[in-house]
Structures are given as C-alpha cells and as structure tokens.
Chains A and B, each alone.
Chain A
Amino acid sequence: MSKLIFEKNLKGSNSFTLPPADIPEVDITSSIPASFLRETAPALPDISEVEAVRHFVDLSHRAYGVDNGFYPLGSCTMKYSPKINEWAARLPGFTSIHPYQSVETVQGAMELLYNMQNMLAEITGMDAVTLQPAAGAHGEMTGVMIIKAYHQGRNDQGRTKMMVPDSAHGTNPATANVVGYDVVEVKSNRRGLVDLEDLKSKMSPEIAGLMLTNPNTLGLFEEEIQDIAAVVHDGGGLLYYDGANLNAVMGISRPGDMGFDVVHLNLHKTFSTPHGGGGPGSGPVGVKSYLADYLPVPMVDKKDDKYIFVYDRPLSIGKVKNFYGNFGVIVKAYAYILALGAEGIKDAAQQAVLNANYLRQHLKKDYHIPFDRLCKHEFVATAKRQVDENGVITLDIAKRLTDYGFHPPTVYFPLIVKEALMIEPTETETRERLDDFLQAMASIAEEARNHPEIVTNAPHNAVITRVDEVTAARKPVVKWEDDS
C-alpha cells in the first residue's frame, strides 16, 4: 500500500532555504499585533527533496494518461497533446509575466490573445470571442449570462426558462439553474435527435433559449438544426452551442452558420490542451455581433498597431474570472491551431469521424449499438446483450478494459441510453490501436459469455480492486488525520 505524503514525515529532513537576507530581520511581532498571528505552524509534511520527488513519481506510476495509451472517453476528446505546446507555454516570456504589467510590456501576449480571439471566431463562425472562461461549464455560464443580459437589455423580462435536451450533459441544466433559469427538458425522438414537435410545443414567451450540443451526446448530427434554430428564434429565444463536440465538424460546418447565437469551446478537448488530471481547461465563448456588447471585460483589441485591453463596455456582464482567462492553456491551443492550419483542422475532424465509424462498424458484432448509423466523432454502444445474457453490466466491461491496458469509455452517459458505453476514439489513434481495442472488446464479450466472473470481478491487474464507494459517501474521510 502506498503511503500518504504525511506518513513519510521525517522530522528535520526538509532543507529548503532562502538566500541570506540583506535587510534587517526584524521580529514579526514588532510589526504585526499578536492577535493576528497563529500559535502553531501548519503541520505540512517534513520531507527531503529526493523523497518528495520519489513520492510524486510513484503517484504518477498509478495514473493513466493519453501518453500511456488509448483513452476513448466519450465527450472528452482525449486526443494526443503535442509536446511542442508544452514547450511553448513554458517560455519565460509567457510564464513569467504578471497580469497587471502595463500593456506596452506584454505586447506579445496581447497579440497572441488577439489572434486567438479571431481564429476562434473564424472556426466557429461567430463575430466576437472572449477567452476569459476557465472551462467548458464556465463558458456555458458566461454564455447563458449573456443570453440573460440580452433579454434584460431588451426589457423582455418574462423569459424565465431555459430548454435543454434530455440527452444533454449535466453541466447544461446545472448552468441554466446557476444563472437563475428554470429548466424545461426537450425530448429526443426515436432517431436520437431533438424531437422537433416536442420543441415546438414547449417554445413560448417564457423561454430564453435552447442549449444544444451538435453533434449531440449520442454522436449524432442534429440534421434538423436549421428548423430547430427557426423555432427558437421565431419564438424570441436564443440558441446556445455547447462546443464540447466541435471536434467532429471543425472546418466542415460552423455553429455560427448552423444558426447558433452563442458558442463555448473546450480548448482542453478540441484544441489538444491536456486535461491535467481534471484541469486546467479553457472555455472561450463566441457570440454573434448583436451579443458582442455583453461579453465580459476586458476584450483585447488592436489600435494603431498596438494591442490594448478594452474595459469601457457598459453593457458587459462584467467578469467571470480574474484577469483574462487561462492564458497558459490558450498558448497551447494557439500553437495547435497554428500547427494544423486550415487543412489540418479539417483533417482532424475527418479522421476523428472516420475512427469513430470504423469502431462502430466493427464493434456491433459483439455489442448493441442503439443508433447504428453514420455517427460523428463518437457513438454509444451498450452492454444490453451482456446484461441480458449473463448479467455483465457496463461498469464490469469498463473495469475489465483496464486489465487489457485501455482507459474505459465514458459510462452511463447520456442518461437516455441504458448501460451506455460512450466511445470517442479521436483522430490521433492509429488503425492498429483501434484494432487492439476491438480485439479487447471482443475478448471481453467472449469472457462475458463463458466466464462472466472474470468480467464482473475486474479489474485484476490494477493496483487495487474495486472500491467501496458506498462507505466513502456514508462515512466520508476527505482529509488525512494524524492519529499517531
């Protein structure tokens, strides 16, 4: 069992030192009243550098990233993160600049932000882009705030509800709630797409807009998107694009041309910035011209060959984050877009869709595919056959996949499909890798038929077996306690 850092404490082993002071080392009690001072130091670990380094290297051995292998985690676009991007974001001219330096001293960073705003506007077909939001959900919140500010600005006060499809990612309804909207759920039809009749019946003067992902969370393109847009717009609402799935269509079809008014992107999905084990991401938001005044402050603009921050924007929703966004992440995505160029961007989308369809075609031999037709960058399979035949469920298959060296797909999402396995291979996988995965899935299907216990007891090769989640939640232990 691996020890916690606190259990590796060796008193006196930390040897961090500061340079000798060239100022008087006055006692802090002479300048800070005792009532403000703490009596005992925080009990941080006392550990040498070498043991600290070994600790984190050891932790890394028990983690799995895209660099370790195939990561078909649906909706997350776990593509390869090019190393040049990491190099770029680590240039001292980017890492060591303070956000409040005068703009004359950070013209390179401003130029990068300005170019990025424009490139993302071009890719999405929008007129103006903010880079401030820190992640997808944060972009959603920013975008929905803009929708709210827009209706308020027109004194259209009765719009208290936001429509969200039943296939939507959890952040969509949560965002609507966080911004103060009631949620109206729109049904999916038998083809897995927005049910246009249901949408029409729910559109009303109380509806502020519709949040949509296209392709949707089943990996299916909303073919009736123009009709959907017309229903929402004719009813006085706005159309919001959750850009988590843009990887499927970039360079091929733009949300702005589909009729969307507001878009957020996930640079940590579509634009290759690594997910960092949970973040940081970056969630830029693009809008059509009639919403541009509502974007957060500041915007980056160019005036007489000089890049400037524009704060004087009276209709702006304000700020959603300190400073200007996750700049270091933006640098990586910027390098990625430059590297690919127009053709590379389109190529990435095509290959992503090809890889997904290749897997779909070959997986259906062993697994139920509820919407078995042309998909975009991802598709949903299920464990229906395995459940019916031997009681092997999706979770079991996911765990067993790790024994074969693969990261499992997203499971039990979208909610409208039972026992869902949402598979997104991305464009950066070789056919060999995909074939290996298919082979593993086929083996698991066979095990499920003949030796189901192998699957239901998986994983067998991981550092631990399945965890007791119930106790974790019933009797939460969320920090280390010193019981020595």
Chain B
Amino acid sequence: MKYTPNSPAIVEDMLRSAGFNSLDELFSDVPEAIRLDRKLKLGPGRSEIELTRELKGLAAKNLNTEDYPCFLGAGAYDHYIPAAIDQLLLRSEFYTAYTPYQAEINQGILQSIFEYQSMICMLTGMDVANASMYDGGSALAEACVLACANSKGKKVLLPDTVHPEYQQILQTYAISGKMEIVIVPSTAGVCDLEKMISLIDEDTACVVIQQPNFFGHLEEVEKLADAVHRNKGFLVMAVDPISLAILKPPADVGADIVVGEGQALGNSLSFGGPYLGFFAATKKFLRRLPGRIVGQTTDTEGRRAFVLTLQAREQHIRREKANSNICSNQALNALAATMYLTLIGSTGLQAIAVRCHQLAVYAARELEKAGLKLKYKAPFFREFAVLLDDPARANRRLLENGIIGGYELEDAMLLAFTEKRTGAEIDQLVAVLGGEA
C-alpha cells in the first residue's frame, strides 16, 4: 500500500514546475557518502488483505481478557469500557487533530480538555489539573521534580509500598542530580509511619505515598502530611481514580500534588499503553505545573472561549529554563477518560468502586475458607496479596483452567478485582488456588 496520491505523470509535472529534473535531484544536498546505497531491509509493501491477515495472526497469538477472566491489576485494570467511547473516539476530527494551538478552529478539543481538567479536580478535590501526562509513573516522577524545584531540599522520601515500577522510574529521573530518592522499608504491607516521619527533615522536598498502595492496602496519610508540611516539604500522592469514588479526596488528607494512572477510566489494557497520567495540585502550583493547561476566556465578542494558557511555563517558551520538557501528552486517552466519567457518572463510579471492593472482600473470605492466608491484614480497596508457596506454578494451573491469574510476588499472588469479575469466577479461582494451599 502507498498513501501518496500523486500519479507518476503528476509527479513529473510537479518536479518540472518546481525546477527539478528528477526525484534524485531533490536530495542533491545529501552528501554521497551518507546516502543509503541499497534498499532498506523491510521487505515489500503489503496490500490491505495481507496486512489484515498478518496482524490478525499476531493478535490471535495473545490470550485476551475478553476470553479469559483476568485477576491481574498492579497498575492496569480490566474495567468495562462503555461501547459509546470507542465509537466517539473514532470521530477523526478528534483523533487526527494535532495539539490545539489554533484556538479558533479547535474549540471542541480545548473544551473537552477543560472538562477533563474539571473532572480530575472533582475526583481529587484539588484546585488545578493539567491536560495529562504520559502515564502514572512518569506523572509521579514529574510531581517529584516539581516538588524539588519548589523547595530547598531535594530529598524524595517514599515507602516501598509504592508501585515498584514507579520507584524505578523515579530512580531513573534522578540521574538529573536534582532529586535524591530515599526508599523506606514498610511494615505489614503499609508505610512505616514512625520511620518515615523520623526521616523527614529540612532537606526533604516531598514525601510520596500511593493510595491504595501497590499491595492494595490503604495508607494512613494525614500524619505524614502534617510531618512533611511542618518541614516545609510537600505531600505527593499517587492515587487510583476508581477508588476516589469512595475514598477521601487527596485534598482532604493534605496532598499538595496528586497524580495517578488514569487507564482505568475508559482506556483499554493494550499491553501497557497508551494510558494517561493525571496531574493535579493546589492553587499555588498553577503557574509551575508541567504540561498543557486549558483556560477559559472570551473572544473579542465576549463569548466564552477556551485556549491553551500559562504557556510561559512550557518548553517552547522557557526552553532551557523549563522544569519539564513535555510537549505531546495523552490527549486522546484523556478524552476517553472524560467520556468515561460522563457516561458512568457519579453514582455509576460509586457502584463500580463498591462492586470492586465487595468482590475483593468476597474473594478474601473464600480464600481464607479454603485454608489460604492473606499476606497482609490492613484494609484494602480492590486488591490484596494471598500467600502461596509457588505463585508461578499457581498461575500456570490457573491458566490451564482458563483463568489469567494475579501478579507474582515472591511468596504471594497479588489479585485484583474489577466490576467485570463475578462471584462464579472467583469461586473457580479459589478452587484452583485452594488446591495449592
């Protein structure tokens, strides 16, 4: 297939009209020595029929969660996505547009981002939100960069109950020399408050806490917030947006910056991406946030209008003084999240959160009845770890029984429950895992 529409005859005409004799002449400024003197080794182009065959073939080699009940979570969740979302995302005015630099012809996209920002503020209770970041992990890294840039210290304290990949991403970003990451061992599946608080000092830019944490448990946040605020540092929270339907908004427990993985809001699993990171903060960070922000204003006739605003923060204006280099974000994923929250609504989101929790509670009880033990006792939202001698073997047995099992920890399996799961599926899960006790 080719997607170049001009016929060879027209190409000839155009060449002549532009003052050239051949296509090769268009590359006379490329020194001979660095010209590729052979064809790329990519093989021949494919027709659409061949393409569909080839791609279907690859897709068919993957077991998918439409066919197998999935108990994996650990940062990506198999939630139901209302049918309307994909239909709407296929409107190509949305998906084939660039970032809405020209406000007048992109009011629709700008308004959708404004609505997205508003919804993120509603969920988190925070004052301001940006138009999205790449994903939960990179959003957390940028939150810590922001905290460090606005405090005297550069120490970032976090318990090891934060997602291990988030920990890794933070360590990677710290190659800048602008952050010093200190990971604090937890106890019993939650942050060791005493140890954590004892480590907070004047050099502490922020404390990071994930709610619910990687193991699914709920963290006590308020005391940490007080302690870090007393030392003029910031509290950064990474939160699960579905949980915010029932859990206290981060603003109410003292968070200064709130980020999270937004995939659960209407975005498919897609083997890890594209997802979206959401990013919200208190008012005082408004002029320092990373990324795009849409603001409301008026046009010359006084009508309400939307526009990319506060751009003086961004790379294209601040260049080497910018604290973030983000340019493109995850706009279409944020649009999916906006559609999701619109279609599901408050009561829907609450019903989903409650159902996830009830399924998890049911599973925990049934596993205990079958003689298994939970790894940790703390309250959980929709995810917990069950102790197993050989989690990898247990997962293989689950797969033989048509179930995609959980995330393997050393001595346990982290199981996640979404509203798509049923009691019957859990009974099956328990039956297999019970045999592993």
Contact = CB atoms under 8 A, between A and B. Distances in A.
A253 B35 contact: yes
A252 B38 CA distance: 9
A202 to B, nearest CB: 15
Interface string B68-86: 0010101110100010101
> Which of B19, B145, B424 has its CB near the most chain A CB atoms (within 10 A)?
B19
Nearest to A244: B327
B273 A328 contact: yes
A86 B70 contact: no
Interface in A176-215: 176-180, 182-183
B52 A321 contact: no
A147 B306 CA distance: 40
A254 interface: yes
A281 B41 CA distance: 25
A61 B88 CA distance: 12
Contacts of B56: 91, 93
B235 interface: no
A359 to B, nearest CB: 9
Contacts of A32: 218, 246, 357, 379, 381
Interface stretch (B193-201, B335-343, B368-376, B428-436): B335-343
Give the bracket for the number of chain A residues in contact with chain B: 35 or more
B348 A16 contact: yes
19 contacts: A22-B422, A42-B122, A56-B339, A81-B95, A84-B52, A108-B58, A122-B42, A138-B326, A170-B322, A170-B327, A223-B31, A278-B331, A319-B172, A328-B268, A342-B45, A354-B26, A459-B105, A467-B103, A478-B117
Given A36-B218, A318-B171, A478-B128, A96 B66 contact: yes
Interface stretch (B3-11, B183-191, B202-210, B224-232): B3-11
B30 A221 contact: yes
A440 interface: no
A130 interface: no
A280 B309 contact: no
B137 interface: yes
B437 interface: no
Give the bracket for the number of chain B residues in contact with chain A: 35 or more
A71 B98 contact: yes
Interface stretch (A232-240, A269-277, A447-455): A269-277
Contacts of A129: none
A148 B174 CA distance: 12
Contact of B102 (A24, A337, A408): A408
Contacts of B274: 134, 279-280, 282, 326-329
Given A467-B307, A472-B296, A479-B118, A98 B96 contact: no
> Which of B66, B314, B316, B325 has its CB near the most chain A CB atoms (within 10 A)?
B325
A276 B274 CA distance: 11
Contact of B328 (A42, A135, A251): A135
Contacts of A289: none
B182 interface: no
Contact of B45 (A71, A179, A220, A343): A343
A76 B328 CA distance: 11
Given A65-B95, A318-B169, A105 B320 contact: no
Contacts of A324: 271-273
Contact of B95 (A45, A91, A277, A471): A277
B172 A145 contact: yes
A73 B96 CA distance: 13
Contacts of B54: 338
Given A170-B316, A346-B40, A95 B99 contact: no
Contacts of A274: 92, 95-96, 332
Given A318-B168, A342-B44, A476-B286, A25 B358 contact: yes
Nearest to A13: B345
B349 A42 contact: yes
Given A108-B61, A478-B309, A226 B320 contact: no
Interface string B1-30: 111111000110111011110010011111
Given A18-B355, A96-B66, A343-B44, A254 B36 contact: yes
A100 B65 CA distance: 12
A361 B14 CA distance: 10
